[in-house]
Amino acid sequence: MPRRLIAAEHQGQLTVRIRTATHRFHRDLPESRIWGYDGTVPGTTIEAERGKPVMVEWRNELEGPLPVVETVAPKHADGDGVPVQCLPGLSGGTPNPRAGALSGHAVVHLHGGLTPASYDGWAENLFAPGQPAVFHYPMNQRAALLWYHDHVMGVTKFDVYAGLAGLWIVRDERERELGLPEGPPFEVPLLIQDRNFNLDDSGRLTGQLVHKTDPDVMEAFAPFTVVNGKVWPILEVQPAIYRFRVINGSNARTYRLVLLRDGKPELERVTPIGSDHGLLRTPVRLPADGLVLASAERADVLVDFSDLEAGSELMLLNTASAPFDGAAFPATRALEAANLEGLLPFPQVMCFRVIPGPSAARSIPTVLATDYVPPREEELADAPHRAIALVERELEGETNMLTMRELSIIEDDYTGPSITVTNGERITRYRAVAAHFEDVTTFFPMLGQVEVWQLINLTGDTHPIHVHLDPFQILARHPIHYQIPDAGIEDLDITASVILGRGADDELSHAIDDNERGLKDTIRVNPNEIVEIAVRFTAYSGRYMYHCHILEHEDRDMMRPFVTMAPELMPFMA
């Protein structure tokens, strides 16, 4: 269990030392050198109260070098055909000296926080070891599981992997009225990540963290699943209902979680009650294949162990292969989920063991949240629309880039490369107006106004797209099929023909899971899909970011700025 820090017990004034330390990921592993908030993996869980501001002095005391060996293995698979990402060690790769030279610049982002821009953790506003940073978090937001993590431009993937992530829980009176478990023993956060380790000369695991990619796969999918800093842990539970605050804090891996007893899925034991930004309107059913969480997505779930005898054991398995593309996998086959080609050598996540105790059932409230509704028709009718294409650009002699293009509807006299989106009779033509993080800002949302953002996925992978600041709601997942001509994806010159409607060989459901219909800040955009979200920025003007939360994508330019602005200032924005 991560240590808890209750902000109210410190008058909302907290100090977190960001420092180099050691951590043991498993009792049979040697110690690992890590970077951690308060020197632990995960960092201390900060618990705050809605409406009670929290000030954190983030004290950067990191010491280099980066405690992660970064390498690109020379081949995708070893001599036996096993993908090298399924194996520990460097697999013939040489350690990247540039990663080894990183000394510990940091910036902290509170993911899910409604935070003024100055304290949101802009990826270029860094503090070096020894430089002070005091951030103010107003906490004017509903109860939810947030998390804080490093966000340094270009190296977030190394810093988070090194250990720089911690949980942050916002609580409010609404949740207390519902009588949901709060705090130990019945409320348990589960931060799920994947990690890999080096080998010594005799082939034994050392604790040294390894971030390994290969010529075919530019994301690191590490073989060992880690929950709250431990590989494959066991949690002893009483025969009672537990509340698990589940979060995927992995760099790139998506999980589809299935709870099993005696080898059979027991999905009905699990009741989702909340998502990224807190409680859903009502409890919902788990998706039939299991609970899918991509990087940075959260789930608040109740799990009923109350009918189980002491000694009962349940396993939590992951059935999602990697890179995740939304493909289905039946929960009934979860025991067969191991798949080397799918970079899933070990589906094990964790184990629950029931200990003796009085059986404590508890009724689950039928109404949870009443403070949000889907956006109204008239709001959507007036809403500005923004379109973003997710694209894969092939580069000669370099790994492909998975990035984004902000789109603008083209003028009549424009004859250059364009994306055509055909929806029945309606044809919309776009051109790309921004490709890179440092390109000119094109999104200026007005505070208070509902906007519709369209994410058009023209790649083969699922991308979890995260928008900073206010939460959003998903409006639709539209199946699409598309054609991209040879060299259709260049820098700002992109050419594609997108048609709404399912393609002949498309096997994805494109369904919206019930637990995705809450307030979200990260949404999965599957292949052959347009996702539409409705977002309304409310309180803070300033420069924020949105990006893919696969850290290897985010670091390689799958991230863009947007600027929120009070309506009265808009006429003065040239």
State in angstroms the smallest separation of the CB of 252 from Cu ion. Answer: 8
Q: Closest CB to Cu ion among 349 and 550?
A: 550
Q: Is 391 in the site for Cu ion (CB under 5 A)?
A: no
**Could you give the CA distance from residue 505 to residue 87 in angstroms, rounded to a whole number?**
33
Query: What residue has token string 């007036």?
Result: 382
Q: What contacts 508, CB < 8 A, 6 or more positions away?
A: 325, 326, 327, 328, 479, 526, 527, 528, 529
Q: Which residue is nearest to Cu ion, using beta carbons?
A: 548
State in angstroms the smallest separation of the CB of 525 from Cu ion. Answer: 9
Nearest residue to 170 (alpha-carbon basis) of 300, 304, 37: 300
Q: Is the peptide bond before 65 cis (omega within 30 degrees of 0)?
A: yes
Alpha carbon 236 to chain centroid, angstroms: 27
Q: Closest CB to Cu ion among 109 and 553?
A: 553
State in angstroms the smallest separation of the CB of 550 from Cu ion. Answer: 4
Q: Is 222 in the site for Cu ion (CB under 5 A)?
A: no
Number of amino acids touching Cu ion (CB under 5 A): 4
- The residues in 511-550 that bind Cu ion, with binding defined as CB under 5 A, are 548, 550
State in angstroms the smallest separation of the CB of 292 from Cu ion. Answer: 16
Q: Is 535 helix (H, G, I), strand (E, B) or coil?
A: strand
H helices present in 306-463, as ranges: 377-382
For the four alpha carbons of 69, 72, 77 and 83, in that order, the dihedral sign comes to positive
User: How buried is residue 85: exposed, middle or buried, by Cβ count under 10 Å (0-12/13-18/19+)?
Assistant: buried
Q: Closest CB to Cu ion among 238 and 403?
A: 403
Taking CB under 5 A as the criterion, the residue among 463, 524, 536, 556 binding Cu ion is: 463
Q: Closest CB to Cu ion among 460 and 501?
A: 460
Q: Closest CB to Cu ion among 267 and 508?
A: 508
Q: With left for phi above 0 and alpha for psi between -120 and 50, is residue 51 left, alpha or beta? A: left
Q: Closest CB to Cu ion among 418 and 462?
A: 462
Q: Is 405 in the site for Cu ion (CB under 5 A)?
A: no
| Per-residue binder mask for Cu ion (CB under 5 A), 428-457, x = binder | ------------------------------
Distances (CA, A) of 375 to 264, 379, 518, 564: 39, 7, 12, 19
**Could you give the CA distance from residue 85 to residue 220 in angstroms, rounded to a whole number?**
7
* Token code pair at residue 201: 């000369």
Judge contact between 65 and 209, C-beta under 8 A.
no
Q: Is 553 in the site for Cu ion (CB under 5 A)?
A: yes
Judge contact between 339 and 256, C-beta under 8 A.
no
From 269-277, 325-333, 460-468, 500-508, span contacting Cu ion (CB under 5 A):
460-468
For the four alpha carbons of 467, 473, 474 and 475, in that order, the dihedral sign comes to negative
Q: Is 220 in the site for Cu ion (CB under 5 A)?
A: no
**Could you give the CA distance from residue 449 to residue 537 in angstroms, rounded to a whole number?**
7
Q: Is 296 in the site for Cu ion (CB under 5 A)?
A: no
Q: Closest CB to Cu ion among 38 and 521?
A: 521
From 72-80, 108-116, 287-295, 552-560, span contacting Cu ion (CB under 5 A):
552-560
State in angstroms the smallest separation of the CB of 149 from Cu ion. Answer: 17
From 4-12, 141-149, 463-471, 560-568, span contacting Cu ion (CB under 5 A):
463-471
Q: Is 84 in the site for Cu ion (CB under 5 A)?
A: no
Q: Is 294 in the site for Cu ion (CB under 5 A)?
A: no
Q: Closest CB to Cu ion among 474 and 525?
A: 525
Binding site for Cu ion (CB under 5 A): 463, 548, 550, 553
